[in-house]
Amino acid sequence: QFHFKGAFEQQSLKRELDMLLRFRSDSFPDDLLVSRLGGLVTWDDGLSIMGLLVEYIHGSKTLGYAAEDASKAEREKWAQQIRATVKKLHDANVTWGDVKPDNVLIDANGDAWVIDFGGGCAEGWVDQELEGTKEGDLQGLSSVENFLG
């Protein structure tokens, strides 16, 4: 099963597609908690991309929603998983680019998945001048960890 993500902005689509294709390489272990590319959806002409199919994360809800009723242990687990994922991404020279609770899904097993690699910058989570950088990811990670408090 896959989730359809519409291609509304070409630069964002290009960045996300590039990131998702990189996750298919041997540099990224299969157990890395990031969304994966399932395929492309094209218009009838077969040339223009309508959107992406990304791995469906079963039983998922956003971190912002899940954190409302979470125990301290769950919050700490999620912070550690997100931190470990960001470190592995940075070790492979990949930036997440849009760090915020809405771009983390908690699956049915209680694991935190990092999603949305199209870039961008959510006000209040990352300073605009750090958008798309490792420093921005680290600032966003710190903001998310503070949110999980």
Please tell me the number of Cα atoms within 13 Å of 44 on its side-chain side: 0
Confidence of residue 9 (pLDDT cuts 50, 70, 90): confident
Token digits for 88? 């592995």
* pLDDT value, residue 122: 80
* 44 burial level (CB within 10 Å; 0-12, 13-18, 19+): exposed
Number of other residues whose CB lies within 10 A of the CB of residue 68 = 7
What dihedral do alpha carbons 138, 78, 119, 108 form, nearest 10°?
170
DSSP, res 144: H
pLDDT, tens digit, 9 for 90 and up, residues 65-109? 999 999 999 999 999 999 999 999 999 889 998 899 999 999 999
Q: Which residues contact 102 (CB under 8 A, 6 or more apart)?
A: 62, 63, 64, 122
Residue 46 has pLDDT above 80, yes or no: no
* pLDDT value, residue 114: 95
Confidence of residue 129 (pLDDT cuts 50, 70, 90): very high
